[in-house]
Each structure stands twice: as C-alpha cells, then as structure tokens.
C-alpha cells in the first residue's frame, strides 16, 4: 500500500524543497498490492496551445490489470508540481492491481516531456490532458460510455489536483475526480487577504520563490522552464509585491474557481490542515462552488498537507479508504453511493513505537464549511500598542518555513514560530474554563492606525499551555493589507479579520494569545519603515465542531472482502477474546490483603533459554512512604528484576503484586507506576515541556490527570523545562526523565540508576527529589551502585547477589554495629596524633572538624578519655559503619562481572 500524497526526488532543487513541492501526487487507496499488472512506457505526442498548433511530447506510462475480463474503467493520474510519471509509480501500480487501466504522464515543462510550464493553463496543460482522454478512448482495453468517451476518473494532488478540477470543468467526459491539497483561486493563494477590504493581498514570496526556484533548464535563467508570461508575472510581483492586471488574469485562468459551475463529475475533495500554501479554505471554496450546481461533493480533511506530508498513518488509511470507495462506486458501479458526510481528524498524541503521530477521526452528516457547526467566543485583553515595520521586512518574524515545514513541529509543538520584539503586539485571554474543539476559521475585530495611511499586518492565534509555551497551529498566519487608515488609533474603524482554518483542541487551563505582527519571512512587506498602532476589539470567535468517532477504514474494507475472510477474522477475534479474558482473569485477580501495599515481589526467578539464570530467587516488599534501594554487584539481577516489574519481560517463576494486583505484561495496574528503566529518550528539537506533553498525550489519559506542575516542582527543573532538550546536559536529561516518570504522580516510582552520570551537586539534588516524592503515601524503588547515596537517600535497602537476596530491611539495620566511630573534635591535627598513638587501625578526616576512626578493638571510652586528657575537646562520638562496609561484607568479591540481563 503506497503512502500518499506521493513524494519523489527532484532533479533541480534540494531534497527538502522536493518533499513539499511534490507532496501528494495523489491521496488514494488501496489494499491489493501484488505485481499483477503490466506496464508500458511510451511517448504521446499532442497538439497544445490556444490554437492547437504547438507540438508537445509527453513522457507517459500505461498500466493494465494482468487479469481482467473485458474492458475496464481508466484513471488519469497526475503528479504534483516538479514531479513526473515516476512520482506516482506505486500509486499507478496499486490502481492497476485494483482493476483499473491507469495512464500517468509527466506534465509539459517537467522531466523528459517537452514544452513549458504554464501553471495548469486551460490552453496548455489542461488541453494536454484532454488529448490523453482521446488516447484512452481509443484503447481496446478501456471501457467507454460512448464513442470517444472513456469511463475515466482523474486523481491528483496539488498541481495535479488543480488539473483534475480544471479538466472536469473543461471536458464533460470525466466521470469522477479526487483532487487533493490544491487551490481554488491561484491569485488568492499567492496574494492572500484575510480582511474584507478592496486592497490587494500580500504576496506569498516564500512559496512563490520555492516554485520558481525549482525549475531548471529552458532559455531563461531567471525562470527555467516557465513560460514567458508566467515568468514575467512572477518577476513583477516578487519585485513590487502587487500584481498588475495581466498577472491577475493569468493566475485566475489557472484557477478552478473559473469552472466550478461546469463540473458535473462527482468530486471527493481532500485537503490538509497543515498547509500554508493551500489552506483548508481553498477546498471549502471548491466544495461550495461544485455543490451549487447539484454535483455530488464530499469533503475530507486530514492532518497533513504541503507542510505536513502525507499525514499520520491513521489518516492515510482513512483517506485511502474514502478514495477507493469513491472510485469503485462512480467508475465501476460497485457499492452504495458514498454520501456527502464530512470527515476530519486531529492529532491526539505521538506513538513512541512507530515514531508517528496518532490521530483521531470524526464525521458529521453534512459538511459545515470553515465556519463550523457552532461558535465559542473568547475575550482577549490588551491596550492599543505601537509596532514597528522594519525596512525591507528585515529582520522578519517566522510563522512557517515554506518548503521545509515539519509535521511534528507544526502540529505538535509549533516551535518554529518566532515574533520579534518591537514588531508585534500581544493580546491574551484568561485561562479557558473548558475544552474547545476548534475546526474552522477563527475571526476577530482589528483596528489599526498608520502615519502613511496603509499597513501590512500578520495576525496569529497562539495556544499557550499552562507553562506558557506557545503553539501556532500549523504555522498559519492571516496576512492583512489595510488602506485608508487614520493616523491616530482613536479614529480607526474595526475590520473583521478571518484567520486561516485550523483543527485544534484547546484544552481547559490553556490561554489564547492574539499576536499582530508587522513582518513575516514568508511574505513580501512594505520596504519603507513605519510605526503602526494596533488594537483588538475584545472577542475572538472560534468555530467549533463535534462529530462521531470513526472506525479504522482499513478494517471496514477488509470486512467487505467476503464471507471467507469474515469467518477468518471472526475466528481470530474469538481467539483474541479468549486470550484477553484469560489475561484479564489473571490481571484483575486482587489479593485484598496487599491492596494497600505498593509492591510485593515473591519467589521471582528469571532463566533464559540458553541456560543463563539472571534471577535465582528474589522476594521483597515496598511499603508506602519508603524509599527502597535495590543494591548488588554487576550481574546480580537488579535490572532484570526491574524489567520484570515493568512488564518488559516475563518471569520464569514467582509473582509480583502491585497494590494487590498480580502483574503481567500490559496490566492496567501499571498506570499507577512511573518508571525510568534503561535510560531516557527525548526528541532533541522539542523543549523539555513539549517532550513531556507529547509523552502524556500518547498515553491517552486526560490532561488534568497529568499533575504537570507538581511533577515539575518535585523534579526541580525550573525554567530549563522550556529549553530544547538537545541543549540539555546529561544531568538535566536525567532529571527530565525523572519528571516524565513522575507525571500523574504515580503511587509507585521505579528508577534504574537515576544518578547515572550526574555530578555531586546534581546527585545531592536528586537525593532531595526522591525524598520529596516519597510523601503522601507514595513509594520509590531505586536501583543504584552509589552506596553512599543509597545510604543517605533510602529508608530501606534490598541487597542482591547472584540472583538472590542476601539482606533486606531498614538501612540502619543492615549497617548494624560499627567497628568505626565518627568523632567531632576541636583540634583535628592534635586528635589525629593522639589517636594514632593509641594503636587504632586508621584515622580518616571527615569534614572540617570530623574524624572517622577504625577502633581496631580499642575501647571507645579509652579513645575519648585520651583526647580529653590531652586538652582536645570532643563534641560528638557516634558509631559509624557505612553501607559500603556492610555491602562488601555481604557480597565480598562475588560479582559475575557480566552485567545484568
């Protein structure tokens, strides 16, 4: 199954640019993935241009199902900007395997095809596609509806998506289309204006530069293989920032907006929510224009786009299923009509297992547009503020990085956005009292004053979490060009600004921040410096949307394959239920006597198939309020014991009870346990806080259960939590890992070598962290080889040697009677000389006034009396036997030295 939108290699630009420009040659679907097709590469010559007098050779590929009975419907498969027929190869093969004749080609001006790039002009690229329809109609393998009329669907993403719309509007032979992440009006896409004024929009120089910098070859070094009129339009707009009428006319000729009323082919419109090039509003305009004539239209949003790629796997499956359903019904006549319900998704977390974002999908019976099915108003406050427009837009703020967008940073963290001091005004709401599910275009009222009478502004809506970390959803900003402005803000009239449509869950406790900026690196701003004054009038209106959660589309497809597969799936399901029931009986068995005890390990044994016995027999208990140290030499079985405890491996024998629940891998009771076992792992480009938030959301548990602030306070991270983890020291990473284990304040905390790699001050702070945690009935189990720290940190210890426990209990009891004493004296040099003369084994300094004395059988009273007689004051005498002494006495040199398994 191919991942869509399809990404391919560019020939004349960097790989990073390629990832965006070729994004999604198609978003479609399919489950069969066998090599049961035939493919033929060929050259198709067409007559192009307004007068049909310009010859163009198109590099094409034709695929057919290997096994077919009679003629089959066809699919015309178009690639994205900068791509070729090879960009969509796997998609074409999957379609052919599904039973379609597939014709894909390299558009003129790209790859091995001749001609120039005219931006999907009706007189050029669209006319080329019409000639390809003629070619399909002549193929004996292709089903036809009439002479010269093939049964055909058109699929494409971005550049190819616009072609599908324009072709369907220009040629009524098209029977179904699936355009994705594409435009409605190319002039609005590259000159967006977010306020209802007559002023020209703001030139999107970043994306325009990516397009025009990606075409190599041709006779014009400035524009590569672009046609002369397209090149002239670009150079003019990139220089002045405002288009002349000829440039506007050219862009609008290449816009589906001009032909929507002529489209009769049922249309499935797929658009990405992470797209600063063609945002959700472009698909909204296409949907409304096509539906106005009664043509069947279905809209689907996914969490990808030109800045987000194909989206998470769960989204890809949903989009693929919808596309296959659409084609099969309207081309093959199979299945019921798909209907016009609307589906969308939003990011729900991050999967550490498959390194992918996780989304939740929803549906409603009808498409609500970008205004949502309801609204919520949030008040933002702030005085009118002066902001400076920098000369030539430099330095410029960053809202997104056209061509280099990151799905993770855009959707999950939003950490790309940067606003510059003096160049932006901020208006902030109170903390939200409830969760708001935003799906659509927020609006607000803006007032502005300018000494020049004009201003270009960028309005952004940030989501601030409880720690103050801002997220600009998908890097989307609303550019506004205002004219006729007064010089004083008091005379300014409010203008309604419509922000780009977003899909985001704003959580209770978060705040909204409206930022009005004067610059943005993605846009061309006025060259002359000026100072504006701006104000936001109170309310931000948020479109809201609720829907029904949708099941996995892949599962729906498989259930439709037939009775045999259904029977197999049911059999597997029954087997799974039986296994789960058995496991549930084991997991939910509760020992009432142990229900209030955090941990009871009894008779634990772990042996491997090669005969190695990591744990022979271990049993101990951890009570509430205790900090228990698990000690032992290398290879004693400490880490293996912790791995069994966390459900990472199964024991050969024995039982572990956590709060009375018998533990097995995946047991729900593990949600009451926090752990750091075998080292931390974080995403380096995210801050500490963003890493913690991503981890918690991936658990699927409610945010209010995280007790985020309490965990951070106990861990003592301070302001460092807002720094990117790639800049963390080893000690800070370790403390962040401890904070992650503490999220939700689990009642049992299990840590493997938490002080590993820390310097002495950090170790001392970690000691205080663990002692603070073991309050309010919580408990800590810590494995460590730093015996002095265990002695100062832990209330109890379990000493393991050769897979068995050799001692356990309170640390003081394990240390026991001491052959040594600790003495505080008034004169350390004199006391050292006197004690050495008494015949003691050793005298070791301990701080400024202390000595550790190994008595060697000398009576304690004689030691004290000798010091006093010599005039040395004695302030304290206490027995001292270090845990290290006890440890060595218990295990000696009996270490396997092979490390834990």
Mapping DSSP onto H, E and C, the string for 201-221 reads CCCCHHHHHHHHCCCCCCCEC
- Decide: 686 and 338 in contact? Cβ < 8 Å: no
Which tokens sit at 487? Answer: 């010089």
Taking CA atoms, 794 is separated from 626, 658, 673, 783, 810, in Å, by: 8, 20, 19, 11, 9
Hey, how many other C-beta atoms are within 10 angstroms of the C-beta on 348?
17
CA distance 843 to 853: 5
Pick from 155, 130, 143: nearest CA to 75: 155
Pick from 108, 110, 109: nearest CA to 10: 110
Domains of the chain: 15-189+253-368 (3.40.50.1820), 194-249 (no CATH), 370-544 (2.60.120.260), 595-814 (3.40.50.300), 817-880 (3.30.70)
Q: What is the pLDDT of residue 244?
A: 92
Per DSSP bridges, beta strands 374-381 and 495-498 are unpaired
Q: Is 111 left (phi over 0), alpha (psi -120 to 50) or beta?
A: left
Angle, vertex CA 689, rays to CA 688 and CA 691, nearest 5 = 65
CA distance 517 to 399: 10
Q: What is the pLDDT of residue 793?
A: 81
Q: What is the largest CA-CA distance in the chain?
A: 124
Assign 3-class secondary structure to 622-686: ECCCCEEEEECCCCCCHHHHHHHHCCCCCCCEEEEEECCEECCCCCHHHHHEEEECCCCCCCCCC
Enclosing H/E stretch for 159 = helix 159-170
Per DSSP bridges, beta strands 342-351 and 374-381 are unpaired
Chain centroid offset of residue 41 CA = 39
Pick from 774, 783, 705, 790: nearest CA to 750: 783
First to last CA, the chain: 39
CA distance 462 to 148: 54
Strand partners, 478: 459
Going by the DSSP 8-state scheme, the letter that residue 142 receives in this structure is B
Which tokens sit at 329? Answer: 């019904």
Q: What is the pLDDT of residue 887?
A: 63
CA distance 455 to 530: 9
Which own/partner contact pairs does 845-849 have at CB distance under 8 Å and 24+ positions apart? Answer: 846/822, 849/824, 849/825, 849/875
pLDDT tens, residue by residue, 203-245 = 999 999 888 766 666 667 777 899 999 999 999 999 998 899 9
What parts of the chain have a pLDDT lower than 70?
Answer: 1-35, 213-219, 348-358, 403-416, 551-589, 665-667, 678-680, 714, 757-759, 762, 785-786, 788-789, 815-819, 878-901
- Decide: 176 and 153 in contact? Cβ < 8 Å: yes
- Decide: 117 and 215 in contact? Cβ < 8 Å: yes
Which tokens sit at 480? Answer: 């506004």
Exposure string over 63-82, b if 16+ CB within 10 A, otherwise e = bbbeeeeeebbbbbbbbbbb
Q: What is the pLDDT of residue 255?
A: 97
Query: Sheet holding 874-879: strands in order across?
Result: 842-845, 850-854, 820-825, 874-879
DSSP class per residue in 47-82? EETTTT-EEEEEEEEEEEESS-SS-B-EEEEPPPTT
Q: What is the pLDDT of residue 25?
A: 33
């Amino acid at each position: 199954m191919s991942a869509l939108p399809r990404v391919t290699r560019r020939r004349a630009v960097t790989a990073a640019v390629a990832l965006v420009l070729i994004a999604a040659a198609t978003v479609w679907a399919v489950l069969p993935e066998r090599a049961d097709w035939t493919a033929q590469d060929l050259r198709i010559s067409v007559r192009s241009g307004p007068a049909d007098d310009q010859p163009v050779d198109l590099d094409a590929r034709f695929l057919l199902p290997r096994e077919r009975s009679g003629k089959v419907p066809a699919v015309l498969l178009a690639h994205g900007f900068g791509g070729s027929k090879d960009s969509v190869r796997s998609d074409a093969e999957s379609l052919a395997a599904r039973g379609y004749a597939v014709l894909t080609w390299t558009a003129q001006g790209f790859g091995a095809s001749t001609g120039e790039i005219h931006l999907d002009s009706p007189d050029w690229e669209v006319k080329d596609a019409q000639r390809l329809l003629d070619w399909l109609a002549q193929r004996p393998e292709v089903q036809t509806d009439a002479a010269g009329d093939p049964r055909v669907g058109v699929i494409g993403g971005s550049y190819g998506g616009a072609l599908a719309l324009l072709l369907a509007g220009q040629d009524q032979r098209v029977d179904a289309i699936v355009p994705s992440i594409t435009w409605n009006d190319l002039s609005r896409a590259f000159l967006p204006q977010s306020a209802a004024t007559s002023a020209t929009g703001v030139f999107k120089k970043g994306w325009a530069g990516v397009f025009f910098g990606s075409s190599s070859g041709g006779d014009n070094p400035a524009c590569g293989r672009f046609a002369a009129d397209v090149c002239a339009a670009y150079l003019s707009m990139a220089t002045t920032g405002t288009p002349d009428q000829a440039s506007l006319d050219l862009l609008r000729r290449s816009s589906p907006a001009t032909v929507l009323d002529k489209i009769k082919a049922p249309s499935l419109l797929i658009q990405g929510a992470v797209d600063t090039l063609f945002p959700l509003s472009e698909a909204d305009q296409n949907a409304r224009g096509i539906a106005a004539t009664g043509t069947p239209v279905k809209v689907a949003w996914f969490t990808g786009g030109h800045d987000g790629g194909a989206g998470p796997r769960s989204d890809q499956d949903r989009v693929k299923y919808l596309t296959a359903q659409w084609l099969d019904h309207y081309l093959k006549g199979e299945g019921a009509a798909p209907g016009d319900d609307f589906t969308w998704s939003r990011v729900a977390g991050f999967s550490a297992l498959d390194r992918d974002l996780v989304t939740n999908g929803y549906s409603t019976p009808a498409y609500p547009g970008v205004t949502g099915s309801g609204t919520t108003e949030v008040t933002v406050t702030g005085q009118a503020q002066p902001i400076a427009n920098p000369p030539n837009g430099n330095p410029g703020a960053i809202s997104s990085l056209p061509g280099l967008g990151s799905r993770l940073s855009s959707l999950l963290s939003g950490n790309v956005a940067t606003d510059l001091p003096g160049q932006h005004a901020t208006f902030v709401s109170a903390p939200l009292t409830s969760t708001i599910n935003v799906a659509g275009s927020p609006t607000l009222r803006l007032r502005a004053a300018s000494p020049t009478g004009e201003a270009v502004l960028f309005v952004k809506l940030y989501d601030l979490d409880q720690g103050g970390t801002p997220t600009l959803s998908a890097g989307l900003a609303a550019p506004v060009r205002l004219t006729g402005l007064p010089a004083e803000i008091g005379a300014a009239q409010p203008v309604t600004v419509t922000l780009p449509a977003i899909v985001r869950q704003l959580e209770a406790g978060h705040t909204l921040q409206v930022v009005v900026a004067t610059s943005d690196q993605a846009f061309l701003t006025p060259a002359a410096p000026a100072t504006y004054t701006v104000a936001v009038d109170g309310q931000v209106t948020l479109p809201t949307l609720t829907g029904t959660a949708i099941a996995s589309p892949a599962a729906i497809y498989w259930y439709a394959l037939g009775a045999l597969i259904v029977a197999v799936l049911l059999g597997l399901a029954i087997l799974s239920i039986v296994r789960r029931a058995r496991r549930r009986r084991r997991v939910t068995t509760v020992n009432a006597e142990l229900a209030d005890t955090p941990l009871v390990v009894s008779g634990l044994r772990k042996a491997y198939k090669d005969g190695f016995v990591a744990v022979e027999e271990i049993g101990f208990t951890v009570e509430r309020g205790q900090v228990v140290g698990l000690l032992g030499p290398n290879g004693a079985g400490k880490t293996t014991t912790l791995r069994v405890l966390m459900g990472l491996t199964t024991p050969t024998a024995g039982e572990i009870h956590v709060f009375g629940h018998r533990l097995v891998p995946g047991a729900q009771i593990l949600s009451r346990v926090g752990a750091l076992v075998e080292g931390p792992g974080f995403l380096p480009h995210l801050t500490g806080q963003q890493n913690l938030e991503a981890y918690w959301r991936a658990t699927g548990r409610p945010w209010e259960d995280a007790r985020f602030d309490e965990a951070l306070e106990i861990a003592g991270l301070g302001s460092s939590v807002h720094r990117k983890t790639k800049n963390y020291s080893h000690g800070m990473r370790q403390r962040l890992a401890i904070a992650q284990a503490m999220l939700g304040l689990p009642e049992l905390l299990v840590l493997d070598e938490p002080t590993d790699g820390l310097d002495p001050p950090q170790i001392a702070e970690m000691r205080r962290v663990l002692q603070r945690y073991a309050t309010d009935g919580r408990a800590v189990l810590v494995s460590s080889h730093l015996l002095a720290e265990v002695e100062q940190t832990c209330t109890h210890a379990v000493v393991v040697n050769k897979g068995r426990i050799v001692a356990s209990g309170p640390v003081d009891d394990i240390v026991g009677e001491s052959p040594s004493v600790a003495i505080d004296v008034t004169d350390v040099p004199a006391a050292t000389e006197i004690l050495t003369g008494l015949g003691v084994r050793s005298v070791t300094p301990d701080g400024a006034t202390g000595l550790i004395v190994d008595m060697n059988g000398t009576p304690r009273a004689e030691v004290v009396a000798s010091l006093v007689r010599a005039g040395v004051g004695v302030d304290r005498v206490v027995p001292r036997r270090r845990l290290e002494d006890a440890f060595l006495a218990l295990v000696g040199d009996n270490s396997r030295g092979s490390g834990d398994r």
